Amino acid sequence: MEIKVLKNIMHANQQIAEDNKKMFVDKKITVINIMASPGAGKTSVILKVIEALKNKIHMGVIEGDIASSIDAEKIESIGVPVIQINTGGGCHLDANMIKTVMPDLKMQDNSIVFVENVGNLVCPSTFDLGETIKMVIASVPEGHDKPFKYTSMFAAADVIILNKTDLAPYIDFDKDMFYKGVHALRDNANVFEISCRTGNGIDKLVDWIISKHNNAD
């Protein structure tokens, strides 16, 4: 019975996700679902990309957290529209949550929306939101074994960000092993090495995002 219930939940989510995707395509809105463990740097990456693109393209942010609005307040302070979703214990966002808050975000056509999913490397990979891009952020301090431990997350990713690379000289991080794990799951994976603290690599990531936005179907 539990398996049947789970299948029903997943089927209902997928139907809503497909409706979301159609709406995003019709409005030329690129939606980036950002997934990572807590502390990997989701909000920092969003802020860096917004800084690079502000006044060039209309952007908005959906912040997902179990509780609090700390990250949403950071986004709001720089003048970007933001909606907070608190799951109250839920470990992921789902398609219906996105559908519900999108009208309040008031996005123009030809915009970019960043969805900061709940900090978790398991549940969010299972629930499609109708997004354009699935982005997974890993960070050097977390270790090089994340792609081996969280295979479904890294296999689902359209782009993988290796953040906090400025800390590599001080941490036992085997970059070759990290890439081995990534490429075992996605042979042609897009990987960007960045540091939000120094800004290294942000320009290449921003160029990639803009390219995907401009060429979205």
CA 97 vs. chain centroid, Å, equals 15
Domain ranges across the chain: 2-214
What is the model's pTM? Answer: 0.94
In this prediction, residue 89 carries a pLDDT of 84
pLDDT at 11: 87
pLDDT, residue 2, reads: 43
Mean pLDDT, rounded, of the chain: 94
Tell me which of 161 and 126 has the higher pLDDT: 161
Helices first, then strands: H and E counts in the chain: 8, 7
pLDDT tens digit sequence for 63-88: 999 888 889 999 999 999 999 999 98
Task: Specify the CATH superfamily of domain 2-214.
Answer: P-loop containing nucleotide triphosphate hydrolases (3.40.50.300)
For the CA atoms of 145, 176, 186, 117, the dihedral, rounded to the nearest 10 degrees, stands at 50
Number of Cβ within 10 Å of residue 169's Cβ equals 8
Give yes or no for residue 192 having a pLDDT over 90.
yes
> What pLDDT is stored for residue 217 in this prediction?
62
Q: At residue 3, does pLDDT exceed 50?
A: no
